[in-house]
Protein backbone atom coordinates (compact mmCIF):
# COMPACT_ATOMS: atom_id res chain seq x y z
CA UNK A 1 0.00 0.00 0.00
CA UNK A 2 1.23 3.50 -0.86
CA UNK A 3 1.55 6.45 1.49
CA UNK A 4 -1.77 8.25 1.82
CA UNK A 5 -0.44 11.64 2.92
CA UNK A 6 2.17 13.40 5.03
CA UNK A 7 0.52 14.29 8.35
CA UNK A 8 3.04 16.67 9.89
CA UNK A 9 6.61 17.77 10.40
CA UNK A 10 7.83 17.82 14.00
CA UNK A 11 9.96 20.57 15.49
CA UNK A 12 11.30 20.44 19.06
CA UNK A 13 11.48 23.84 20.78
CA UNK A 14 12.31 25.28 24.19
CA UNK A 15 9.79 28.14 24.09
CA UNK A 16 6.49 26.75 22.85
CA UNK A 17 4.65 30.09 23.16
CA UNK A 18 7.21 31.94 21.02
CA UNK A 19 7.13 29.21 18.37
CA UNK A 20 3.32 29.29 18.26
CA UNK A 21 3.35 33.09 17.91
CA UNK A 22 5.92 32.89 15.09
CA UNK A 23 3.98 30.33 13.07
CA UNK A 24 0.71 32.19 13.69
CA UNK A 25 2.33 35.33 12.29
CA UNK A 26 3.44 33.31 9.29
CA UNK A 27 -0.22 32.40 8.72
CA UNK A 28 -0.67 28.98 10.29
CA UNK A 29 -3.60 28.28 12.61
CA UNK A 30 -3.27 26.70 16.04
CA UNK A 31 -5.27 23.50 15.62
CA UNK A 32 -4.82 22.27 19.19
CA UNK A 33 -2.57 21.72 22.17
CA UNK A 34 -2.03 18.71 24.38
CA UNK A 35 0.25 17.16 26.96
CA UNK A 36 1.53 13.75 25.92
CA UNK A 37 2.99 11.78 28.77
CA UNK A 38 3.55 8.35 30.10
CA UNK A 39 5.24 5.10 29.37
CA UNK A 40 3.02 4.38 26.33
CA UNK A 41 4.33 7.47 24.52
CA UNK A 42 7.90 6.58 25.38
CA UNK A 43 7.46 3.20 23.72
CA UNK A 44 6.91 5.06 20.42
CA UNK A 45 9.87 7.42 20.78
CA UNK A 46 12.20 5.05 22.62
CA UNK A 47 12.62 7.62 25.42
CA UNK A 48 10.82 5.74 28.19
CA UNK A 49 8.57 7.68 30.55
CA UNK A 50 8.17 11.09 28.93
CA UNK A 51 6.19 14.32 29.22
CA UNK A 52 5.88 16.49 26.13
CA UNK A 53 3.75 19.58 25.52
CA UNK A 54 2.68 19.82 21.89
CA UNK A 55 0.93 22.36 19.68
CA UNK A 56 -0.36 21.41 16.24
CA UNK A 57 -0.20 24.22 13.68
CA UNK A 58 -2.16 23.89 10.41
CA UNK A 59 -1.52 25.62 7.08
CA UNK A 60 -4.41 27.70 5.68
CA UNK A 61 -5.17 25.12 2.99
CA UNK A 62 -5.70 22.49 5.71
CA UNK A 63 -3.25 20.01 4.20
CA UNK A 64 0.02 20.70 6.03
CA UNK A 65 0.78 20.63 9.72
CA UNK A 66 3.72 21.36 11.98
CA UNK A 67 3.83 19.70 15.38
CA UNK A 68 5.72 21.87 17.85
CA UNK A 69 6.99 19.88 20.84
CA UNK A 70 8.51 20.99 24.13
CA UNK A 71 10.05 18.15 26.14
CA UNK A 72 9.51 18.50 29.88
CA UNK A 73 11.10 15.08 30.46
CA UNK A 74 13.42 13.62 29.54
CA UNK A 75 15.66 16.60 29.03
CA UNK A 76 16.73 17.56 25.52
CA UNK A 77 20.09 15.94 24.71
CA UNK A 78 21.16 17.54 21.42
CA UNK A 79 20.85 20.93 19.77
CA UNK A 80 20.86 21.34 15.99
CA UNK A 81 19.38 24.84 15.85
CA UNK A 82 22.50 26.53 14.56
CA UNK A 83 23.53 23.83 12.11
CA UNK A 84 24.39 25.20 8.67
CA UNK A 85 22.03 24.50 5.78
CA UNK A 86 24.35 21.81 4.43
CA UNK A 87 24.29 19.72 7.64
CA UNK A 88 23.08 16.12 7.37
CA UNK A 89 19.51 15.36 8.37
CA UNK A 90 16.28 17.26 7.96
CA UNK A 91 16.93 20.68 6.54
CA UNK A 92 13.88 22.91 6.57
CA UNK A 93 10.20 23.34 5.80
CA UNK A 94 9.32 25.52 2.78
CA UNK A 95 6.24 27.73 2.75
CA UNK A 96 4.64 29.40 -0.25
CA UNK A 97 3.72 33.02 0.58
CA UNK A 98 1.82 35.73 -1.28
CA UNK A 99 4.26 38.58 -0.59
CA UNK A 100 7.78 37.72 0.51
CA UNK A 101 8.79 41.23 1.62
CA UNK A 102 5.63 41.74 3.67
CA UNK A 103 6.04 38.31 5.28
CA UNK A 104 9.67 39.04 6.18
CA UNK A 105 8.62 42.34 7.75
CA UNK A 106 6.00 40.68 9.94
CA UNK A 107 8.28 37.83 10.99
CA UNK A 108 11.13 40.17 11.90
CA UNK A 109 9.09 41.23 14.93
CA UNK A 110 9.29 37.59 16.06
CA UNK A 111 13.06 37.39 15.67
CA UNK A 112 13.26 36.07 12.10
CA UNK A 113 16.51 36.78 10.29
CA UNK A 114 17.70 36.00 6.80
CA UNK A 115 20.22 33.20 6.45
CA UNK A 116 21.56 34.52 3.15
CA UNK A 117 19.72 36.78 0.73
CA UNK A 118 16.36 37.02 -0.97
CA UNK A 119 17.06 35.69 -4.47
CA UNK A 120 14.97 35.64 -7.62
CA UNK A 121 15.03 32.42 -9.64
CA UNK A 122 14.42 33.33 -13.27
CA UNK A 123 10.92 34.79 -13.66
CA UNK A 124 9.41 32.06 -11.46
CA UNK A 125 10.14 32.61 -7.76
CA UNK A 126 11.62 34.85 -5.09
CA UNK A 127 13.16 32.65 -2.41
CA UNK A 128 14.96 32.85 0.91
CA UNK A 129 15.82 30.91 4.03
CA UNK A 130 15.20 32.45 7.43
CA UNK A 131 15.83 31.43 10.99
CA UNK A 132 12.91 31.97 13.33
CA UNK A 133 12.76 31.66 17.09
CA UNK A 134 15.37 29.25 18.48
CA UNK A 135 17.05 29.08 15.08
CA UNK A 136 14.22 27.17 13.37
CA UNK A 137 15.16 27.07 9.69
CA UNK A 138 12.35 27.64 7.19
CA UNK A 139 12.22 28.54 3.53
CA UNK A 140 9.87 31.08 1.98
CA UNK A 141 8.89 31.14 -1.69
CA UNK A 142 6.84 33.73 -3.57
CA UNK A 143 5.65 32.56 -6.96
CA UNK A 144 5.95 35.31 -9.57
CA UNK A 145 3.48 36.03 -12.37
3-state secondary structure 75-91: CCCCCCCCCCCCCCCCC
Q: How many domains does the chain have?
A: 2
Based on the fold, state whether residues 68 and 18 are members of the same structural domain. yes
Based on the fold, state whether residues 20 and 60 are members of the same structural domain. yes
CATH number of the domain that 45 lies in? 3.10.180.10
Domain carrying residue 42: 9-73
CA distance 77 to 27: 31
Based on the fold, state whether residues 121 and 69 are members of the same structural domain. no
Q: Is 97 part of any domain?
A: yes
Look at residue 1 in the predicted model and tell me its pLDDT: 60
Q: Is 83 part of any domain?
A: no
pLDDT along the chain (145 residues), means of 10: 80 95 97 91 84 96 94 87 82 91 95 94 94 91 93
Amino acid sequence: MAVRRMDNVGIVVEDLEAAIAFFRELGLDLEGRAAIEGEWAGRITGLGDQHVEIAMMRTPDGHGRIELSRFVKPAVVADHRDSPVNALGYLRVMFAVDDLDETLGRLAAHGARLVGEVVQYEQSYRLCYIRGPEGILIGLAQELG
